[in-house]
Amino acid sequence: MPADTDTESQQPLQEFLAEREEVLRTWSTGAEVDLEEGIAYQLSIPPSRRFTRVLAEADREQRVLVQPRAGVALVDEHIALLRHLQGEADLLPTTIDAYTRQNQYAEAQKGIDRSLQAGRSVLNGFPAVNHGLRQCRRVVEAVNRPVQVRHGTPDARLLAEITLAAGFTSFEGGGISYNIPYAKKVPLERSIRDWQYVDRLVGLYEERGVRINREPFGPLTGSLVPPFISHTVGILEGLLALEQGVRCLTLGYGQLGNLVQDVAAVQSLRELAEEFFRLRGFEDFQLTTVFHQWMGGFPEDEPKAFAVISWGGAVSALSRATKVIVKTPHEASGIPTAEANLQGIKATRQIVSMLADQVFADESRLAAEVDLIKSEVRHLLKAVLDLGQGSVAEGAVRAFQAGVLDVPFAPSIHNAGKLMPIRDNQGAIRVLDPARVPLPADVADFHRERIQERARFEGRKPSYHMLIDDIYAVSKGRLVGRPR
Amino acid sequence: MGPDTIVLGVVGADCHAVGNKILERVFSDQGFRVVNLGVMVSQDEFIDAAIETNARAILVSSLYGQGELDCEGLRERCLERGLEDVILYVGGNLVIGKNDPALTEQKFRQMGYDRVFRPDSDLAEAARALHEDIRQRFHALPVA
Ligand code: B12
């Protein structure tokens, strides 16, 4: 049974250090990184700018923290953006551009140069690797909130080296959640392996008294992903991180839109993670949750977008998530201006504060939905772990190969893409066809029955058309994609 | 004569897959033979596929905002590689930020794209336009 230090799944330290040397040579700015210096710098950061501290306090006080996404090409502009947001935000991001996410640093450089010329950002995020450690440090020092790296990078080894040494105190992602939704051909073995490196690095900081928060990306494709799929992936990534020495984890979930399902999802996520972490022999960890406001297609009309944002804020408060990631009124159109971003944060903060003292009341329906998700996740996780014969990493790889884990609408060729989700008559995500994903027989029947109920109501058969109507529904002003 | 072949894909380092899967379905249903290259497609991959399959049109999507960088030069590259007549369509969230759609359209028309589509475009209409553009460019016989 794996214990708190898991030597079996860890690379020998000497090998890890040799690999580090190679990683740091993959782009010129890697040369600036010195682990000892990075640790010393991290130790000098005051608690008010440490993710783990702010999360722990909020968790204790049952407060929901508010965090935006944000990133532009140039350093001074990025600093100005974060400063514009920090008054209303509890936690800050640095969202990384898409070239850096694919390790295309030469392309990112072109984007930096073009942004300089154009006088506006032509990149969709902050190219942290190209800017390098010293410039990244200017970012974390320019603000008075903790800053997290948010991205979507299958191989984030160099990005982690640079940003952690620079003083970022949280790092989003994982070997599954930053591959399957974000890549096309990267083998899962490869990305899991590269994320074990990242987690090992975080573990080394932890050993030296520097606690870095890690956050697996819960929403996956943000497109009708049933909670049992995203929970299973999140818990697997949590286990993979714990094995490498990570101790502070925030597990995530993307809002789906049905109130009961969403509240149940956040509650069950936390309880299931506790359960499985302990079951696998881990006792010493700090666990929190993050709720992402609706991650699918948004309405273009800004007042309508505010409604979606506020509803997400409301549910984050009712579900007692530790933090909420906010969207903006520009979501359907493009990267938000600083002003639009701030508006999303303000709308969210208002509703979260108004609901701070209220609890979700429909106890019996909530309990039933929590039980449902728990039985699904236990069944699925057992199947995955059995496939791995003791190894979490191998279990995950084999599960995707076999279609036992299957994420709707994912671009990766290593994902089966056969599971078919559809909303039920009240908008909860159910599965019409689980394909190769194992669900207990009574649970699979329940899902189909709920979809049949909708089909009867709409007078049509459940089909691909219904699924497509669901994909467009929120952007067109509803939750359930009714026939047009 | 069989259905016209078109090449479809999401350009650059862009991973947005949902619209791509729907476009494949709709354009197939509307009578095209669709060669879907999926996400993260380079300009040369589009062109290789178009040459290999003798495609009439290339449909480029870009959602993630870096389309301005990724879409530039495709027309020139097509000409260089001997694709003189191929129809180029582009659609999605083409530039960074919320912008005037008319300016975006102008920018991409200048790059040599025959039509430019916004994210909320009616796909059946787009398919009709494509049938018509193909008819005019490839099938319209000179009056004897
Ligand atoms: C879901 C989503 C995601 C998911 C994608 C999962 C996946 N693998 O598919 C996740 C969470 C992973 C994701 C990640 C990112 N995303 Co995203 N995402 C969205 C979101 C919310 C919905 C997209 C969607 O699926 N819509 C539903 C489908 C049906 O619509 P569609 O994609 O628009 O496609 C239709 C049309 O565009 C049109 N169309 C498209 N191409 C063409 C071509 C032709 C010829 C025609 C006729 C029509 C046409 O027809 C399609 C079908 O109807 C949009 C915002 C929104 N729309 O609300 C942002 C959005 C597209 N994402 C955005 C960004 C920037 C990113 C990231 C880079 C992260 C970041 N910096 O914020 C990363 C991507 C990294 C990478 N390497 O690509 C930005 C782009 C900004 C811009 N252009 O200025 C958007 C607009 C959000 C925003 N406002 O910031 N995203």
What secondary structure does DSSP assign to chain B, as a single string? --PPEEEEEEBTT----HHHHHHHHHHHHTT-EEEE--SSB-HHHHHHHHHHHT-SEEEEE--SSTHHHHHTTHHHHHHHTT--S-EEEEESS-SSSS--HHHHHHHHHHTT-SEEE-TT--HHHHHHHHHHHHIIIII-PPP-
* Tokens representing residue B32 in the block: 């095209």
Please compute the mean of the pLDDT values over residues A113-130 and round it to a whole number. 97
pLDDT tops 70 at residue A2: no
Please compute the mean of the pLDDT values over residues A166-192 and round it to a whole number. 98
Please compute the mean of the pLDDT values over residues A423-448 and round it to a whole number. 98
pLDDT at B139: 85
pLDDT at A1: 40
Degrees, nearest 5: CA angle A261-A267-A273: 120
Q: From CA A427, how far away is CA A28, in angstroms rounded?
A: 50
> What contacts B40, CB < 8 A, 6 or more positions away?
A102, A183, A184, A411, B10, B12, B13, B14, B15
- At residue B60 the predicted structure's pLDDT band, cuts being 50, 70 and 90, is very high
Q: A216, A26 in Cβ contact below 8 A? A: no
pLDDT at A3: 44
Residues with CB under 6 A from ligand 1: A 69, 95, 98, 101, 124-125, 152, 181-182, 219, 221-223, 295-298, 330-332, 334-335, 409, 411, 471; B 13-19, 22-23, 59, 61, 63-65, 89, 91-93, 96-97, 117, 119, 121, 123, 126
- Residues of chain B with Cβ-Cβ distance to A107 below 8 Å are 13, 69
Q: A290, A252 in Cβ contact below 8 A? A: yes
Q: What are phi and psi of A202, to 5 degrees?
A: -60, -40
Nearest to A99 among B13, B18, B68 (CB): B13
pLDDT at A362: 81
Tokens 């430019």, residue located: B116
Q: A352, A313 in Cβ contact below 8 A? A: yes
pLDDT at B142: 67
pLDDT tops 90 at residue A484: no
* Tokens representing residue A160 in the block: 């982690």
* Tokens representing residue A346 in the block: 């303000």
pLDDT tops 50 at residue A4: no
Interval A187-242: pLDDT, tens: 999 999 999 999 999 999 999 999 999 999 999 999 999 999 999 999 999 999 99
Nearest CA, atom 63, ligand 1:
B64
CA A316 distance to own-chain centroid: 15
Please compute the mean of the pLDDT values over residues A356-368 and round it to a whole number. 91
- At residue A6 the predicted structure's pLDDT band, cuts being 50, 70 and 90, is low
Which segment of A83-92, A334-343, A361-370, A404-413 scores lowest on mean pLDDT?
A: A361-370
Q: B14, A98 in Cβ contact below 8 A? A: yes
Averaged confidence pLDDT in chain A: 97
Degrees, nearest 5: CA angle A36-A155-A85: 75
pLDDT tops 80 at residue B144: no
Are A468 and B97 a contacting pair at CB < 8 A? Answer: no
Active site residue A101: yes
The domains of chain A, with CATH numbers, are 5-354 (3.20.20.240), 418-484 (3.90.970.10)
ipTM, interface predicted TM-score of the complex? 0.96
Percentage of residues in chain A having pLDDT higher than 90: 97
Q: From CA A174, how far away is CA A236, in angstroms rounded?
A: 10
Q: What are the Cα distances from residue A426, in Å, to A33, A344, A430, B14?
A: 52, 26, 11, 33
- Closest residue in chain A to residue B101, using alpha carbons only: A333
The pTM of this model reads 0.97
Which segment of A243-247, A307-311, A357-361 scores lowest on mean pLDDT?
A: A357-361
Gap from CA of A341 to ligand 1 centroid (Å): 17
pLDDT at B79: 98
Rg (CA), chain B: 14
Q: From CA A254, how far away is CA A320, in angstroms rounded?
A: 14
Q: From CA A195, how far away is CA A115, in angstroms rounded?
A: 31
Percentage of residues in chain A having pLDDT higher than 70: 99
Q: From CA B106, how far away is CA B103, in angstroms rounded?
A: 5
Backbone conformation region of residue A450, classed left if phi is above 0, alpha if psi is from -120 to 50, else beta: alpha
pLDDT at A376: 98
- Residues of chain A with Cβ-Cβ distance to B16 below 8 Å are 411
Nearest to B13 among A104, A114, A410 (CB): A104
Residue ranges of domains in chain B: 5-139
pLDDT at A5: 52
User: Long-range CB contacts (< 8 A, 24+ apart) of A336-340?
Assistant: A336/B97, A336/B98, A337/B97, A337/B98, A338/A70, A338/A80, A338/A81, A338/A84, A338/A85, A339/A84, A340/B98
B25 touches chain A (CB under 8 A): yes
Contact residues, chain A to chain B, C-beta under 8 Å: 97-99, 101-102, 104, 107, 110-111, 114, 120-124, 152, 181-184, 221, 223, 297, 300, 330, 332-337, 340, 409-411, 413, 464, 468, 471, 475
> What contacts B17, CB < 8 A, 6 or more positions away?
A221, A409, A410, A411, B10, B38, B39
Gap from CA of A150 to ligand 1 centroid (Å): 17
Q: Name the nearest CA neighbour of A323 among A47, A53, A58, A49.
A: A58
- Residues of chain B with Cβ-Cβ distance to A114 below 8 Å are 69
Of residues B102 and A359, the one with the higher pLDDT is B102
Gap from CA of B16 to ligand 1 centroid (Å): 5
pLDDT tops 90 at residue A153: yes
Question: 3-state class of A94 per DSSP?
Answer: strand
- Residues of chain B with Cβ-Cβ distance to A223 below 8 Å are 18
Q: Can you tell me which atom of ligand 1 is nearest the CA of B10?
A: 41
Please compute the mean of the pLDDT values over residues B122-142 and round it to a whole number. 93
Domain B5-139: CATH class, spelled out:
alpha beta
Among the listed residues A20, A53, A69, A101, the single catalytic one is A101
pLDDT at A437: 98
- Residues of chain B with Cβ-Cβ distance to A411 below 8 Å are 15-17, 20, 38-40
Q: From CA A37, how far away is CA A165, in angstroms rounded?
A: 7
Beta bridge partners of B61: B10, B91
B123 touches chain A (CB under 8 A): no
Interval A381-391: pLDDT, tens: 999 999 999 89
Are B64 and A475 a contacting pair at CB < 8 A? Answer: no
Q: Name the nearest CA neighbour of A190 among A175, A203, A201, A209.
A: A175
